[in-house]
C-alpha cells in the first residue's frame, strides 16, 4: 500500500546485513526490483521486495530457525504504555527475520489496524469515490472467524490483510464492531459454555489444519494486540498464548499493573492449569531518572525472571511518526536508524531467543 521506496543500503540496515549482500541476494533470488530512471540506475526497493528478500534469506539460513510456533499476546492492564506500538513493530521485525507472522488487532479502537495504513471507518463507497482499492476498507475482523458468529463465519482469506505483501506481516484488522465478539462470548458464558477457551480452541484447530476455511498452520508467530480492558477477549487471548509481553512505562503505577497481571495469570493457571509466561519490557525507558531506576529495581526484584534484558527508550519519533505522511509504516520500517527502531530491533532479537523461535 505504501509507495515509499528504499535504496540497497536502507534495505541492508533493515535486514542486518551489507549493501553488497543485498545486491547479491536480490539477484540470486530473482526478485524484480525497479531501477531508478537515471544514468546510475540505482535499485529502488518496494516494501514488498524487502520482505520477499527477507523470506529468501531466511530460507537459505534455515539452520538458524527452530520449528517452534508460538502465540504471543501484547498486554498490560494499563492504557497508553505502548502495547500497539510494540505489537506493530515486532510484527514487522519478526517478518524481517523470516518468521511467518500474523498479528491480530483485538482492540475495537483499531489503532494497530491504523498503524498498517487501514482506515477502519472508510466505507467501500468512500474508497471507490477516492479511487482507493477496496482492500483499504475493513469488512471483517477476528470475530468473523468464529463458527457461531452471528450472520455466519467468514473464511480466513477474506479476513486477513497483507499490508506489505505475502512475505510481510499479515494482519487481522479490527473495527468498532469487534466489541460484539465480547458480547458473543458473554452470551456463551451465560449459556454455560466455556467462553474463555473459545479463542484457544479456534487457534488450536486452525493451527492443526482441522478447519477447512481457516488454516493457520503456516504461521511461526501469532500475536494479539490486546486492549487495556480485562474483557473476555483479552482473557481468551491470554489463555490461547504461550507468552504475554507486558510493556511498562516504569511510572508510579507500573508495579501495581504488573502485580495485577501476575495475579490474573496465577488465577488462570489455577482454573485451567495453563497460562502464558510473563515477559516484561520497559518502554519510555529513561535510565537517567532515579524514579525510573527505583521502579526498575523493585520490578526486577519481584519478577526477576520475567524482565526482558532490553528496553525501549522514550523517543519523540514514535508520536511524530503517527502524525506524518508515513503513518502506515511502523517506525522500524520508516526510520530504521532511529533510536526507537534500534531499541525495538534489539528487543525483537532478545525476545525471539527467549521464545525459542530463533537460535
Least distance in angstroms from the C-beta of 20 to Mg ion: 39
Least distance in angstroms from the C-beta of 103 to ligand ATP: 13
Binding flag, residue 46, ligand ATP (CB under 6 A): no
The span from the CA of 190 to the CA of 194, in Å, is 9
Q: Which residue number, 15 or 112, has a Cβ lying nearer to Mg ion? A: 112
Q: Which residue number, 54 or 292, has a Cβ lying nearer to ligand ATP? A: 292
Closest CA to 173 of 231, 242, 88: 88
Least distance in angstroms from the C-beta of 79 to Mg ion: 8
Q: Where are the alpha helices (DSSP H) in 30-178?
A: 47-60, 83-96, 111-115, 124-129, 156-159
CA R_g for the chain: 20
Site residues for ligand ATP, 76-105, by CB under 6 A, read: 79-85
Binding flag, residue 142, ligand ATP (CB under 6 A): no
Least distance in angstroms from the C-beta of 76 to Mg ion: 10
Binding flag, residue 111, ligand ATP (CB under 6 A): yes
**C-alpha distances out from residue 61 to 47, 52, 90, 256, Å:** 21, 14, 21, 43
- 238's CB contacts (< 8 A; 6+ apart) are 73, 75, 226, 244, 264, 265, 268, 275, 276
Binding flag, residue 209, ligand ATP (CB under 6 A): no
Q: Which residue number, 82 or 169, has a Cβ lying nearer to ligand ATP? A: 82
Q: Which residue number, 222 or 357, has a Cβ lying nearer to Mg ion? A: 222
Q: Which residue number, 109 or 262, has a Cβ lying nearer to ligand ATP? A: 109
Exposed (0-12), middle (13-18) or buried (19+): which is 283, by Cβ within 10 Å?
A: buried
Element (H, E) at 71: strand 70-74
The span from the CA of 91 to the CA of 88, in Å, is 5
Among 107, 175, 182, 328, binds ligand ATP (CB under 6 A): 107
Q: Which residue number, 19 or 228, has a Cβ lying nearer to ligand ATP? A: 228
Q: What is the dihedral sign for C-alpha 86, 88, 91, 93?
A: negative
Contact of residue 356 among ligand ATP, Mg ion, none (CB under 5-8 Å per partner type): none
Residue 175: all three cell numbers together: 473495527
Contact of residue 16 among ligand ATP, Mg ion, none (CB under 5-8 Å per partner type): none
The span from the CA of 255 to the CA of 152, in Å, is 43
Which parts of this chain interact with Mg ion (CB under 5 A)?
A: 83-84, 111
Site residues for ligand ATP, 244-263, by CB under 6 A, read: none
Least distance in angstroms from the C-beta of 312 to ligand ATP: 5
Among 73, 283, 295, 334, binds ligand ATP (CB under 6 A): 283
Q: Which residue number, 45 or 224, has a Cβ lying nearer to Mg ion? A: 224
Binding flag, residue 322, ligand ATP (CB under 6 A): yes
Q: Which residue number, 98 or 247, has a Cβ lying nearer to Mg ion? A: 247
Element (H, E) at 282: strand 277-282
Binding flag, residue 282, ligand ATP (CB under 6 A): no
Element (H, E) at 348: helix 339-355
**C-alpha distances out from residue 235 to 51, 269, 272, 274, Å:** 32, 12, 12, 12
Residues binding ligand ATP (CB under 6 A): 79-85, 107, 111, 227-228, 283-284, 312, 314-315, 318-319, 322, 340
Amino acid at each position: 500500500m505504501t509507495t515509499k521506496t528504499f535504496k540497497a543500503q536502507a534495505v541492508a540496515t533493515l535486514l542486518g546485513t551489507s549493501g553488497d549482500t543485498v545486491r547479491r541476494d536480490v539477484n540470486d533470488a530473482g526478485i524484480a526490483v525497479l531501477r531508478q530512471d537515471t544514468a546510475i540506475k540505482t535499485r529502488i526497493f518496494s516494501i514488498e521486495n524487502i520482505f520477499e528478500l527477507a523470506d529468501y534469506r531466511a530460507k537459505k539460513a534455515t539452520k538458524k530457525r527452530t520449528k517452534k510456533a508460538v502465540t504471543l499476546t501484547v498486554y498490560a492492564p494499563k492504557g497508553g504504555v505502548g502495547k500497539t506500538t510494540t505489537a506493530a513493530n515486532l510484527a514487522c521485525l519478526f517478518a524481517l527475520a523470516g518468521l511467518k507472522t500474523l498479528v491480530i488487532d483485538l482492540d475495537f479502537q483499531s489503532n494497530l489496524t491504523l498503524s498498517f495504513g487501514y482506515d477502519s471507518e472508510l466505507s467501500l463507497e468512500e474508497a471507490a469515490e477516492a479511487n482507493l482499492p477496496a482492500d483499504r476498507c475493513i469488512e471483517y475482523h477476528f470475530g468473523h472467524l468464529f463458527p457461531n458468529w452471528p450472520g455466519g463465519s467468514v473464511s480466513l482469506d477474506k479476513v486477513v490483510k497483507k499490508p506489505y505483501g505475502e512475505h510481510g506481516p499479515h494482519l487481522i484488522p479490527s473495527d468498532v464492531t469487534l466489541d460484539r465478539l465480547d458480547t458473543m462470548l458473554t452470551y456463551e458464558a451465560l449459556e454455560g459454555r466455556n467462553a474463555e477457551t473459545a479463542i484457544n480452541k479456534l487457534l488450536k484447530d486452525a493451527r492443526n489444519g482441522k478447519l477447512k476455511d481457516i488454516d493457520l498452520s503456516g504461521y511461526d508467530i501469532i500475536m494479539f494486540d490486546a486492549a487495556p480492558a480485562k474483557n473476555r477477549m483479552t482473557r481468551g487471548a491470554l489463555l490461547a498464548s504461550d507468552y504475554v509481553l507486558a510493556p511498562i512505562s516504569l511510572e508510579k503505577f507500573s508495579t501495581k499493573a504488573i502485580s495485577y497481571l501476575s495475579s490474573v495469570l496465577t488465577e488462570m493457571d489455577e482454573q485451567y492449569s495453563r497460562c502464558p509466561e510473563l515477559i516484561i519490557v520497559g518502554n519510555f525507558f529513561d535510565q537517567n531518572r532515579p524514579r525510573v531506576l527505583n521502579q526498575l529495581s523493585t520490578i526486577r526484584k519481584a519478577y526477576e525472571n520475567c524482565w526482558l534484558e532490553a528496553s525501549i527508550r522514550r523517543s519523540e519519533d514514535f508520536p511524530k511518526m503517527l502524525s506524518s505522511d508515513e503513518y502506515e509504516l511502523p517506525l522500524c520500517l520508516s526510520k530504521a536508524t532511529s533510536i526507537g527502531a534500534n531499541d525495538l530491533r534489539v528487543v525483537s532479537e532478545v525476545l525471539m531467543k527467549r521464545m525459542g523461535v530463533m537460535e
